[in-house]
Each structure stands twice: as C-alpha cells, then as structure tokens.
Amino acid sequence: MTTRVESPRSALLVIDVQKGVVGGTYNRDSMVANIASLVARARAAGVPVVWVQHSDTEGLEVGSPAWEYVEELHMTPGEPLVHKVHPDSFEGTELEEVLTVRGVGELVVVGAQSDQCVRSTIHGAFTRGYDVTLVSDAHTTEDLTEWGAPAPELVVAHTNMYWSWMSAPGRTAAVKATAEIDFT
C-alpha cells in the first residue's frame, strides 16, 4: 500500500514514446500496441493517463519530428503532458503536482527507454512514496551493445527482474504483463 494514503488512485504513466526515442528500439511495434491497449483500458476505467515527453539538444529538439509522439498513440484533451529534460520524469517537472491533484498514489509505468528514463522514473516515484507497477511488455530500449551494454532484450528482462524484487516500507513494486493490468 502506498505511503501516499491520501492518494488512493492509480495512473498510467507513459514515458517518452516519441519517434526519435523508439524508432529503432527492441520490440517497438508490440510495445507500442501494448501501450495503446493500456491507454484505452485506463481511459475506459476513468484512470488518469499522464504523458511524459523528453527534449534535449541532441536530436529531440522541441517541435522537431523526432520529438513528437508516435502516430499510434493519441493524447486526448485534458490528459496532462509533462515536459522533461532529465531522465527522471519527476526532476525539474510538475509531474508530482499533476499526480497530487488527481489523487494518484500508484503508478503503472510504460515507455522508453528501459535503462534510462523508465528506470530513473520508477526509482524516483518509489523514493517519493508511490507504489509502482512496471509493465513488463510495455517498455523498451535501443541496442547499445556497441558501447558495451547487454542486448536490448536482456536490458528489458533485467529491468523486469530487478524491479520485481524492489521493496521499501509502506510501498509496493510490481512487474506485470499488459494482460495482467486491471484498472478497475
């Protein structure tokens, strides 16, 4: 149970599913389809969908085609969009305020990249007292093996594995597949 007892609601947090971020990632199409399914299910259940969009000066300039969200995902009016420049979606953004206003104490997290912004954000949320569920088949990363990283499918698997073992007083960490997420 979240340490944010005054915030009993869940939210779907969609991180950086932008053209320039996921264009060449592992299992991209399946991951985006899973996210689209979760977005539709969250909306149907009245669960807030919160979008996060990264920008930088190295290919994700604000307003550029690479900065835009992928065509398969559509934000609706009233859904918050949080802009960020750091990997942790909480750092230097209004994300915590967006969640507080909506009474959110549990985050269901999807997006990219598993070993950068997703990882930083799930840790940032957990240390701020949120319960965090990582959707095992709805996050991805690019191939960075040329710089010594494991293959992307191993990065995704490792992220799922270590998050399933995360613990802290008064909070829960979980890893579930898209089919296991129940917003009701």
Q: Check which CATH number belongs to the domain holding 145 and give it.
A: 3.40.50.850
Q: Would you say residue 2 lies in a domain? A: no
pLDDT tens digits for 122-167? 999 999 999 999 999 999 999 999 999 999 999 999 999 999 999 9
Q: Would you say residue 57 lies in a domain? A: yes
Predicted confidence band at 8 (pLDDT cuts at 50, 70, 90)? confident
Q: Would you say residue 136 lies in a domain? A: yes
Cβ-in-10-Å burial (0-12, 13-18, 19+) of 118 comes to buried
Predicted confidence (pLDDT) at residue 5 exceeds the cutoff of 60: no
pLDDT tens digits for 39-52? 999 999 999 999 99
pLDDT tens digits for 74-114? 999 999 999 999 999 999 999 999 999 999 999 999 999 99
Q: Which of 175, 130, 174 is nearest to 156 (CA)?
A: 175
Predicted confidence (pLDDT) at residue 1 exceeds the cutoff of 60: no
Q: Would you say residue 53 lies in a domain? A: yes
Segment 6-31 mean pLDDT: 94
Domain holding 59, by residue range, is 9-180
Q: Would you say residue 138 lies in a domain? A: yes
Q: Token pair of 143, please?
A: 């191939």
Q: Would you say residue 4 lies in a domain? A: no
Query: DSSP secondary-structure letter at 69?
Result: B
Domain count across the chain: 1
Q: What is the pLDDT of residue 176?
A: 98
Predicted confidence (pLDDT) at residue 7 exceeds the cutoff of 80: no
Predicted confidence (pLDDT) at residue 64 exceeds the cutoff of 60: yes
